[in-house]
């Protein structure tokens, strides 16, 4: 998609939009004409992104949101609709990682990872789908991971959660296709975000060494947030009008 304004007249709600992939996606979709609602637990960070978008001539609002709480998810959808008149795009990007095997992982850690990474997709979909269904339909993109398609070491809860996102995406695509709602997921490889830094810290590895190891893939570099945002942009665009229920791997060839 090269033409600016290709998403003109559409509204996008992005969770975890204050930083990383979410921030890049919010800015990119706004640059293509979408009005953007940025939902994040870090409301100040979300506000900074909204200000940046508006300074560039776009339309955006920031919403403080804990994606594990039903009331917060409902309120985020309502605020997006109230601000922009509808909802056409939902990007479920909020996520966390715990680098530990099942023995090392505490029950609270397991529950937290599953709540942020999986329950949030359920909750946001629960409130967004009826709005999309009463309009012209819509597009939902869930952010999974390459580790949602294959296993990874010392990441049991994360792998389980992202595998659940992949299958939940397919189930939602089946259920809501008749309402003209497309549901897809993106499976990124290691991407240069705060989460990658947090992984190195959890594993007790030096950040620079961890980055070098993570870049060991056919394209020989880490992913950048914009790499993932570009994939999301295509999935929510009319160019992907016959694409639903798919898992798009964006990882520089790592899974290959």
From first to last of its 256 residues, the chain has per-residue pLDDT tens of: 344 569 999 999 999 999 999 999 999 999 999 999 999 999 999 999 999 999 999 999 999 999 999 999 999 999 999 999 999 999 999 999 999 999 999 999 999 999 999 999 999 999 999 999 999 999 999 999 999 999 999 999 999 999 999 999 999 999 999 999 999 999 999 999 999 999 999 999 999 999 999 999 999 999 999 999 999 999 999 999 999 999 999 999 999 9
Structure confidence at residue 4 (pLDDT): 56
The CA distances from residue 226 to 10, 27, 46, 241, in Å, are: 20, 10, 17, 22
Residue 221 has a pLDDT of: 98
β-pairing, 181-188 vs 138-143, is: parallel
Q: Which of 192, 182, 195, 200 is nearest to 228 (CA)?
A: 192
Catalytic residue positions? 158
Q: What is the pLDDT of residue 3?
A: 47
The dihedral formed by the CA atoms of 28, 31, 32 and 36, expressed in degrees to the nearest 10:
80
- Residue intervals of the chain classified under CATH 3.40.50.720 are 11-188+224-248
Res 25: pLDDT? 98
Smallest Cα–Cα separation from 190: which of 97, 91, 117? 97
Per-residue model confidence (pLDDT) at position 120 = 98
Contact yes or no for 235/248 (Cβ under 8 A): yes
Q: For Cα atoms 10, 66, 246, give the angle at the middle one, nearest 5 degrees.
A: 50
Asked if the 11-188+224-248 domain carries CATH number 3.50.50.60, the reply is: no
What string of H, E and C letters represents the secondary structure of the chain? Answer: CCCCCCCCCCEEEEECCCCHHHHHHHHHHHHCCCEEEEEECCHHHHHHHHHHHHHCCCCEEEEECCCCCHHHHHHHHHHHHHHHCCCCEEEECCCCCCCCCCCCCCHHHHHHHHHHHHHHHHHHHHHHHHHHHHCCCEEEEEECCHHHCCCCCCCHHHHHHHHHHHHHHHHHHHHHHHHCEEEEEEEECCECCHHHHHHHHHHCCCHHHHHHHHCCCCCCCCECHHHHHHHHHHHHCHHHCCCCCCEEEECCCCCC
Give helix 156-176 / helix 120-134 axis angle, nearest 10°. 20
Instruction: State if pTM tops 0.95.
Output: yes
């Amino acid at each position: 998609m090269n033409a600016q304004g290709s998403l003109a007249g559409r509204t996008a709600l992005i969770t975890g939009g204050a930083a990383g992939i979410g921030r890049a996606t919010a800015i990119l979709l706004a640059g293509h004409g979408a009005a953007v609602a940025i939902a994040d637990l870090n409301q100040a960070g979300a506000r900074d992104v909204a200000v940046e978008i508006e300074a560039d001539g776009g339309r955006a609002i920031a919403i403080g949101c804990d994606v594990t709480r039903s009331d917060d998810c409902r309120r985020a959808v309502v605020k997006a609709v109230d601000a922009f008149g509808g909802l056409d795009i939902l990007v479920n990007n909020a996520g966390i990682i715990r680098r530990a095997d099942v023995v090392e992982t505490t029950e609270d850690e397991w529950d937290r990872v599953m709540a942020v990474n999986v329950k949030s997709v359920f909750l946001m979909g629960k409130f967004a789908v009826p709005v999309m269904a009463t309009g012209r339909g819509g597009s939902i993109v869930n952010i999974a991971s390459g580790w949602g398609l294959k296993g990874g070491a010392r990441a049991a809860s994360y792998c389980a959660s992202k595998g659940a996102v992949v299958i939940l995406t397919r189930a939602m695509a089946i259920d809501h296709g008749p309402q003209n709602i497309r549901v897809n997921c993106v499976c990124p490889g290691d991407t240069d975000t705060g989460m990658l830094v947090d992984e190195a810290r959890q594993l007790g590895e030096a950040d620079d060494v961890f980055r070098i190891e993570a870049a060991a893939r056919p394209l020989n570099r880490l992913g950048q947030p914009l790499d993932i945002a570009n994939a999301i942009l295509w999935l929510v665009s009319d160019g992907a009008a016959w694409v639903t229920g798919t898992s798009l791997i964006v990882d520089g060839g790592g899974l290959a």
